Amino acid sequence: MMFDKTVAALSTPYGRGAIAMIRMTGGDALKIASAVFRAKNGKSLSDQPSNHAVYGQFIYDGSVIDDGVATVYRAPLSYTGEDMAELCCHGGVLVSSLVLRSLIDAGACAAEGGEFTKRAFVNGKLRLTSAEAIMDIIDAETVGALKLAGGANRGLLSKEAEELYNELKHLIAAAYAYIDYPDEDMTDVTVLELKERIRSLIERAEALKDTYKTGFAVCEGVRTVIAGRTNVGKSSLLNMLTGEQTAIVTEIPGTTRDVVTGSVICGQIKLKLSDTAGIRETDDTVERIGVLKARQTMKDAQLVLAVFDGSKPRDEEDDKLIAELLSLSVPVIAVINKSDLPQSADYDGIFERTVRISAKNKEGKEDIAKAAEELFTGGAIDYDKPHLINERQYAQISSFISSCRSALDALMRGETQDVACFDLEEALSAAAGLDGRDIKDDIVDEIFSKFCVGK
């Protein structure tokens, strides 16, 4: 992938503000910027020293429209690895768009979303995991998400990906040497050792794969459904957790029919909540559709908050719902609501985690947060360990593991090393893809298209 165009974009949010920054990257960046920016020191931007900011004036259609600062970078010492100019003008909607328009009139093309970071990646300035983490930094809503997206985890993940890749690469090379020269004493990898080393690679990759449970809970948020029978207080719980009166609450059973959504930060993780229709048999057409939707949302969820009314005796319908919940392959936290009323139902020991709350009195949010946090982080996040933070990384490590397993199975069946090497090469390409060492152009395009313009 080569970039012959010089591109420009507004890198600060579109709108009124103190300062706006227009960025440009590519071979002609300095020449084009010189046509738009007149430095006070009289030198053209192309003649300014690298990594320096200069004060000057912005020219639009032959007239001065603003003053500001331009910073010059030269390849390869820039964010993208190309020549770059960063132009800061005042943050008016009109002035920033006129500066951008002048650059385009002078020969720049409009940058696509994520184009700067894509160029940085393609030009070898960033590993793919680091490029992805930049988007997560921009989207981060919690300190935990920032920590996982930030420098430390990026470095750790990149290092782990590189070590998995290198160990496997050496293993394959040694195995091929053994295949080609079995009698020479030039290899140290016997079949027995090969099996052992594949096993330990799988173990290490499994440990990395397990971190995604925490990574997605912190960075993306857990798809959480609030489910239960009618009138148990599901909508009251949604409102209590989000702190907003999003869902309608009434004493009439069957109030909620559509799926009502909201989100909440629980300690270090984020829950993406869906309040659903109460589960019951009904002749009402609209409500029946709501119940169907509720069941579908339960199946697709990553966490169920199963709400029960602790003030009512547990009956057959409750037991049916309990059986249904237990048959799901989704973790369930039982939320026994209405603790402000005399309690007449026992739900202890049914689900792995049970909390008691009063949605009406807004009591129990911390207990739900703690239970959810424990489920997804094991209680505390070890920020010194590398964490996977998106689905692409998870898919890549999963395919690494399954190819390593196939290689191991082949060796266990008594197949020769070259059969195993076929699978190991697949695994190597998965490890390479984790950090973008060997990734197809269309996947690169897909990843960077999610970025904002100007990043």
Ligand X SMILES: Nc1nc2c(ncn2[C@@H]2O[C@H](COP(=O)(O)OP(=O)(O)OP(=O)(O)O)[C@@H](O)[C@H]2O)c(=O)[nH]1
Binding site for ligand X (CB under 6 A): 228, 230-236, 249-251, 253-256, 277-278, 337-338, 340-341, 358-360
Nearer to ligand X, 253 or 379 (CB): 253
- CA distance readout (Å), 150 to 87, 302, 401: 26, 25, 26
Shortest gap between Cβ of 134 and ligand X (angstroms)? 40
Nearer to ligand X, 240 or 430 (CB): 240
Phi, psi dihedral angles at 349 (to 5 degrees): 75, 5
| Residue 344, CA atoms < 13 Å, CB-side half-sphere | 7
CA angle at residue 84 from 78 to 87, to 5 degrees? 120
Nearer to ligand X, 127 or 338 (CB): 338
**Which residues are paired to 303 by β-bridges?**
224
- CA distance readout (Å), 124 to 1, 130, 135, 280: 12, 11, 18, 57
Nearer to ligand X, 256 or 393 (CB): 256
Sequence-distant (≥ 6) Cβ neighbours of residue 179 within 8 angstroms: 416, 417, 418, 421
Longest pairwise C-alpha distance within the chain: 86
Nearer to ligand X, 120 or 249 (CB): 249
Which one of Mg ion, ligand X, none is in contact with 251 (Cβ closer than 5 to 8 A by kind)?
ligand X
Shortest gap between Cβ of 170 and Mg ion (angstroms)? 58
Which one of Mg ion, ligand X, none is in contact with 8 (Cβ closer than 5 to 8 A by kind)?
none
Which one of ligand X, Mg ion, none is in contact with 250 (Cβ closer than 5 to 8 A by kind)?
ligand X
Shortest gap between Cβ of 337 and Mg ion (angstroms)? 12
Q: Write down the residue that tokens 């988007």 correspond to.
A: 135
Nearer to Mg ion, 61 or 281 (CB): 281
Sequence-distant (≥ 6) Cβ neighbours of residue 364 within 8 angstroms: 335, 339, 355, 356, 357, 358
Shortest gap between Cβ of 254 and ligand X (angstroms)? 5
Shortest gap between Cβ of 249 and ligand X (angstroms)? 4
The two tokens of residue 352 are: 């792995």
Nearer to ligand X, 39 or 357 (CB): 357
Look at residues 289, 347, 292 and name the one whose alpha carbon lies nearest to residue 318. Answer: 347
Shortest gap between Cβ of 280 and ligand X (angstroms)? 8
Chain residues binding Mg ion by CB under 5 A are 234-235, 255-256
CB 320 within 8 A of CB 299: no
What distance in Å separates the CA atoms of residue 101 and residue 294, rounded to the nearest whole number? 50
Nearer to ligand X, 34 or 339 (CB): 339
Shortest gap between Cβ of 338 and ligand X (angstroms)? 4
Sequence-distant (≥ 6) Cβ neighbours of residue 249 within 8 angstroms: 235, 236, 239, 255
Which one of Mg ion, ligand X, none is in contact with 340 (Cβ closer than 5 to 8 A by kind)?
ligand X
Shortest gap between Cβ of 240 and Mg ion (angstroms)? 13
CA angle at residue 305 from 304 to 307, to 5 degrees? 130
Kindly give the interhelix angle for 128-139 and 151-180, rounded to the nearest 10 degrees.
160
Shortest gap between Cβ of 361 and ligand X (angstroms)? 6
Nearer to ligand X, 282 or 406 (CB): 282
- CA distance readout (Å), 253 to 116, 229, 265, 350: 54, 9, 29, 25
What distance in Å separates the CA atoms of residue 70 and residue 308, rounded to the nearest whole number? 62
